[in-house]
Chains A and B, each alone.
Chain A
Amino acid sequence: METATDSKPGAVAFDRRLVYRPFLERLNPIASSQGLLADGLIVAPDHDPRDTGEPPIHVSLANTAELTRGSQMALVGGIGSGKTTELLLTQKELSRHSDAVNVYADLADYTDLNEINPGAILATAGFQLYSHVCSRLRREGRDLPETIKSAHAKLRELALGKTSWIYEDEDYDYEPDRLVPVRSPGVMKLRFPALWPKVEEIQKLLVSIASPLLGSEAQVTLLIDGLDRLITPELFRQFAEQDLRSLKGTQISVIIVAPLLFLYDKSRFVQDYFDVVKHIPAAAAGPRSSAFLRQILERRGAPELMDRAEITAIAKYSGGVLRDLLTLARSSAEYAYRDGEDRIGRRHVSAAIKQLGNRYLAGLGNSQKGLLQRLIENNEFPIETSAAKELLVNRQVLEYFKGGVDYFAVHPALTRILPKTA
């Protein structure tokens, strides 16, 4: 497309915005996954990342939810590894059955994750299932039973709190000016209060609300996102022990994303508690995974703006972290745009890699750099230490699985700049 942009009379120049802007929009690493799925921009993996002979994670999780009602599954992976995308692909897979009730919820949409307490998962599920029940009954021309209405009202009260208006003194004559509000904080602080003593009560309300769905043969699956951002296994564990345990025996299946550190927790809680645990490692460099990473870029229009060499370099230096893949491609495009180029070149990709490497380098002390050097030079990485776990959580070190073997490696963008600074 051409448009007049030059100041010279009659000159016609190429308006690069019209090429770069759609590309940048498709590459937004923080775009809504739902939107990307709807736009067909998600490349679904064709096998389990840990076993090429097994179906992809989303298919396995959906199969388990369909065949074993009430099963509880955990999806574990590092930041930016594509957990939300897998969850949404699972939801899509589950939707192949018209009677399936699938509830996806990112808890950050419902509560302040910094103040969250046990009971929040149940309350969120209760609100979502209430909406499903209302819609279903409306479609069927049936009234909402009183028991469900009252259970929902009680759930709201427990989850959101209430304000009563009382008289300041004991004068019982009606005088509106003398009414003062009294906040009952008992169950509800902020959007969710310290609910854990009330977990059992909330579970009963949830089951009451869901009863029209559970009474039939329909499968109900909760897909819970966001709690992996709590990072530490101890915090997450409270929810499993309170909310998820209370759902056992209800025939409601749960798929929940869990923090990566659970995999390296000595207690092996996640492996022992959940019926199924799926791990998304970073995509290791190799013909199959590199092809997967390239496909993601191609689906978003990369070949229009860069050659195969640049696509390959971006895939390599992303370390297989999907969000880094998009970040590198996007940054490269921005550098090329600012450089006045019509296509992304090697120097733009290099600048983007350096910028990403700098992000990972920021805040690293000498001891952490020492750990990284040991990993680079000797393949030693003491994962049992807190310093090593921090590097893993922060993605300076990535966990890979290849040829049946788990191993660690320094993020390639960081490796590229580390020797000059360590």
Chain B
Amino acid sequence: MKDLIRKLVETVGPSGYETAVREVVRTEIEGLVDEIKVDSLGNLIARKGQRSPDGMRVMLSGHMDEIGLMVTHVDEKGFVRFTTIGGVSPATCIGGRVKFLNGTAGLIYMERLESGDRLPSIEQLYIDVGASSRDACPVKVGDVAAFDRPFLDLNGRLVSKAMDDRIAVAVMIQALRECQSSPHELYFVFSTQEEVGLRGATTAAFGVDPELALAVDVTRTGDTPKGVKMEVSLGKGPAIKVRDSGMLADPRVVRWMVETAERNGIPYQLEVLEGGTTDARAMQLTRAGVPAGCLSIPTRYIHSPSEMVDYDDVRQSVRLLVELISHPVSLG
């Protein structure tokens, strides 16, 4: 599965510009599903199976987009100013490398700060692509870039940019491969524009009109030095989301996920995330409402160019997802 992960995380695909990622996903799942559709926001919606009497229409959503940057101005000397796509902190930018969709590479640096300032604002940053004038600059206003970092395997702890949320995309693809049979009409939705407000999931959910919805996304951990206090750690298994700042998981869905994990001896953690939300919120509030939850992959350093997951957690996430979708669901 590591090759699949590497392929996905190294593709450039910030919100709104996910085409390259979508093509990778499509290649991977063709032949494994009954129907593939791309909607007007670029969501890849893949249906597998028909709904049998003890099944439901189930939507899974993992987002293809990553955070990134968009060019706002190229100055006379060829320096590139930008705005952020999704939650990008200046702290993770300084000295970083970026790759534009058109292949141009660059680095980010900052203006000289006044003595009182500790962190630059985004307006005080710029990208240097090695051009010396506006005319010679290979990028223009509107071009998009993602952070550029190679994939690393540190003893089973995998590090890359865009683990949020390509790791979930990988988990979904792998679950699709491993799922032998299911009573459900399954919709594997590889969504777009999550990082800028769950936009893809909003429209995909309306279109799919599911009876049950599960997002697959990353969540923070509390296991780093003097970090956020949180009960999720790397290496303790997938997290079952109870709540984040945008939604409360349906308690029936949480119970179903916990029971499934326990019944199959899959380690799991219960997750309460303060700050951040997922596609689950969008699915929950669509049409007349949908019971929704989220399977979270614990991740350190989210929204930095070096996000870290534990490969065992990833494998267990696949196992849990397969168990969840392969059997009837009783929401009781």
A associates with B: no
Binding site for B on A (CB under 8 A): none
Binding site for A on B (CB under 8 A): none
